[in-house]
Amino acid sequence: MKKWTMYGGLVLVLLLVAAGGLAYWLGMREEAVPAPARADASALIERGRYLAQVGNCAGCHTARGGQPYAGGTPIPTPFGALYGPNITPDAQTGIGSWSAEDFWRALHEGKGPGGKLLYPAFPYTEYTRMPREDVDALYAYLRTVAPVRQASRPPALTWPYDQRALLAGWRALNFRAGVYQPDPTQSVQWNRGRYLVQGPGHCAACHAPRDALGATQDGARLPGGVIPVLHWYAPPLNSDALRGLGTWSAADIAALLRHGMATPSVATGPMAEVVLGSTQHLTEADAQAIGLYLKSLPPAVALPDSKRAPTASVMSLGERLYSQHCASCHQANGRGSGQDWPPLAMNSSVTAISALNVIHMVLDGGFAPATAANPRPHGMPPFGPFMDDNDIAAVVTYIRSSWGNNAGAVTPLEVKRARQDARP
């Protein structure tokens, strides 16, 4: 019996070693590098400039008050902080010594020079869909920015997430390299929208939930999810009529992306930053293509209905507070006034599964992004300093339960947690 037990243990060890070796191979394998793009140099640089804006590269690689693309931007994660590296063409501290092939491997394979595994906060899981000509264009553009001698700040992750070698296992489970392949059954415009959403735009980074190891789930259908650490809710970008974009037109979506405002709603929170630094620079054709594609996405699987019915006393208090503080802009009927004061009635941001965005806006206020079409946006004042958690819960409950909205009640505890999450 002992002999068979020993043999069984040995077989188990060998199987574990084999499984570990397979996972390592899956996580480290590479595809052949395609031939470089052939294009006019000035056209390639201009194309790269546009792609840098579409991908919002400056959002992670330009610190507030810092030099463009010199890095240092903190990227908070549940596992600790990462910092956007220097991607200027400085030879010592940036990517000046990188070849075009090195840059291709970083975006397509998620590997730096020498095979160094990159953390997936850098969205190579989406950038892998970019073809060589787009990657080369982005590389050509970054070679034109001013070089900055500034060392990249190392990650500050907790153990064991600071062990970079473990990324091989994460990649084996969650990453497959592959350039975007157009769907021949769809139009050129639809395919362009899909590519921008799934590739350089990396919309799934916010609009899809993440598992315990930070991998996006169901990214193709963009079902929405709470953004880790930031505690804002990125709503579904599918055709769900109640919580997604089902009541929006493709033109509405394009308007929000380019102008930060549309008839159904305005961009707030993290999305306002994305519009400011990225999507306002989309061409009209690309914005319309994104709208067309998102309108084609089917609703995600319906989640269990867990909303709480509001009590009469809470609704009465909420109505009084709304009349006092909100109705002058958003109107007593919740229909708003033009695009400066958006409607709250049947607004998908208001009726979302999560009430986080409405709570944050009432607590902290905010502005729509300043864009070419709306250079001086109206702002909403913060009510958190003079309204307690009970009052804010009541007014948010009233907003989410009036004028045809049926999103359910909000508790003072939810407001308290949001207040704590907003603190630096």
- The pLDDT of residue 97: 97
Question: Are 40 and 159 found together in one domain?
Answer: yes
Q: 276 in a domain, yes or no?
A: yes
- The pLDDT of residue 8: 45
**55/52 Cα distance (integer angstroms):** 5
- The pLDDT of residue 87: 98
Domain boundary among 296, 322, 348: 296
Domains of the chain: total: 3
Question: Are 169 and 50 found together in one domain?
Answer: yes
Q: Which residues are annotated as a binding site?
A: 57, 60-61, 203, 206-207, 326, 329-330
Question: Are 234 and 339 found together in one domain?
Answer: no
Question: Are 404 and 370 found together in one domain?
Answer: yes
Task: Name the nearest CA neighbour of 270 among 157, 325, 349, 158.
Answer: 349
- The pLDDT of residue 33: 64
Question: Are 316 and 211 found together in one domain?
Answer: no
**291/190 Cα distance (integer angstroms):** 9
**C-alpha 66, offset from chain centre:** 23
Q: 328 in a domain, yes or no?
A: yes
Q: 59 in a domain, yes or no?
A: yes
For residue 94, the enclosing domain spans 34-174
Q: 11 in a domain, yes or no?
A: no
Question: Are 254 and 285 found together in one domain?
Answer: yes
Question: Are 342 and 416 found together in one domain?
Answer: yes
Q: 269 in a domain, yes or no?
A: yes
- The pLDDT of residue 25: 41
Q: 13 in a domain, yes or no?
A: no
Is the peptide bond between 385 and the residue preceding it cis, with omega within 30 degrees of 0?
A: no
Q: Which residues are annotated as a binding site for heme c?
A: 57, 60-61, 203, 206-207, 326, 329-330
- DSSP H/E element including 198: helix 188-198
Domain boundary among 252, 272, 296: 296
Question: Are 279 and 330 found together in one domain?
Answer: no
- The pLDDT of residue 265: 87
**pLDDT by 10s per residue, the chain, length 424:** 554 444 444 444 434 444 444 444 445 556 566 766 676 889 999 999 999 999 999 999 999 999 999 999 999 999 999 999 999 999 999 999 999 999 999 999 999 999 999 999 999 999 999 999 999 999 999 999 999 999 999 999 999 999 999 999 999 999 999 999 999 999 999 999 999 999 999 999 999 999 999 999 988 899 999 999 999 999 999 998 878 898 999 999 999 999 998 888 889 999 999 999 999 999 999 999 999 999 999 987 655 555 788 999 999 999 999 999 999 999 999 998 877 788 999 888 898 889 999 999 999 998 889 898 888 888 899 999 999 999 999 999 999 999 999 988 999 999 999 998 866 5
User: Under a CB-based contact definition with an 8 Å cutoff, are residues 288 and 251 in contact?
Assistant: yes
Q: Assign residue 372 the CATH number of its domain.
A: 1.10.760.10
**69/105 Cα distance (integer angstroms):** 19
Question: Are 339 and 365 found together in one domain?
Answer: yes
- The pLDDT of residue 335: 92
Domain boundary among 174, 205, 223: 174
- The pLDDT of residue 22: 43
Question: Are 72 and 143 found together in one domain?
Answer: yes
Q: 242 in a domain, yes or no?
A: yes
Q: 5 in a domain, yes or no?
A: no
**274/260 Cα distance (integer angstroms):** 9
Q: Return the ∠ at Cα 251 (arms to 248 and 256), rounded to 5°.
A: 80
Strand segments (E) across 291-342? none
